[in-house]
Amino acid sequence: MQKRSAMTLAGVAILAMGAWTVATAAADSTATEGAAAPMTKISPDDTALDPSVGRPQRGEKGSLHVETRPAGLVVFYDGEEMGKTPFTKEVSSGRGDVSVMMDDYQFSKGRANVFPGKTTNLYYEIKGLFGIVKVKATPATAKSPVSVFIDDRFVGKCFGDWFTIAGKSNELKVGKHFLKLKGAGGLAAQEISLNAGDTTKVEVRLRK
Per-range mean pLDDT, top range of 2-6, 8-12, 34-38, 47-51: 47-51
Q: Above 90 in pLDDT, residue 8?
A: no
Q: What is the spatial distance between Cα 168 and Cα 171, in angstroms, rounded to a whole number?
A: 5
Cα separation values, 183 from 64, 158, 189, Å = 56, 9, 12
Q: What is the spatial distance between Cα 49 and Cα 52, in angstroms, rounded to a whole number?
A: 9
Cis ω before 139 (30° cut-off from 0): yes
pLDDT value for 173: 82
Q: What is the spatial distance between Cα 121 and Cα 15, in angstroms, rounded to a whole number?
A: 12
Give all domains of the chain, ordered by start, each with its CATH number: 12-125 (2.60.40.1120), 132-205 (2.60.40.10)
Q: Above 60 in pLDDT, residue 14?
A: no
pLDDT value for 77: 94
DSSP 29: H
pLDDT value for 152: 94
Per-range mean pLDDT, top range of 2-6, 34-38, 39-43, 198-202: 198-202
Q: What is the spatial distance between Cα 148 and Cα 146, in angstroms, rounded to a whole number?
A: 6
Q: Above 80 in pLDDT, residue 99?
A: yes
- For residue 49, the one-letter residue type is L
Exposed/middle/buried for residue 163 (C-beta within 10 Å: 0-12, 13-18, 19+) = buried
DSSP string, 153-181: EEEEEE-SS-EEEESGGGT-BSEEEEEEE
Q: What is the spatial distance between Cα 188 and Cα 146, in angstroms, rounded to a whole number?
A: 10
pLDDT value for 102: 80
pLDDT value for 47: 79
Confidence at 104, pLDDT banded by 50, 70, 90: low
Across the chain, what does the average pLDDT equal?
78
Q: What is the pLDDT of residues 129-149, one digit of tens each?
A: 788 899 999 999 999 999 999
DSSP 42: P
DSSP string, 43-59: PP-TTTT-GGG-PPPSS
Mean pLDDT of 182-189: 96
- For residue 69, the one-letter residue type is R
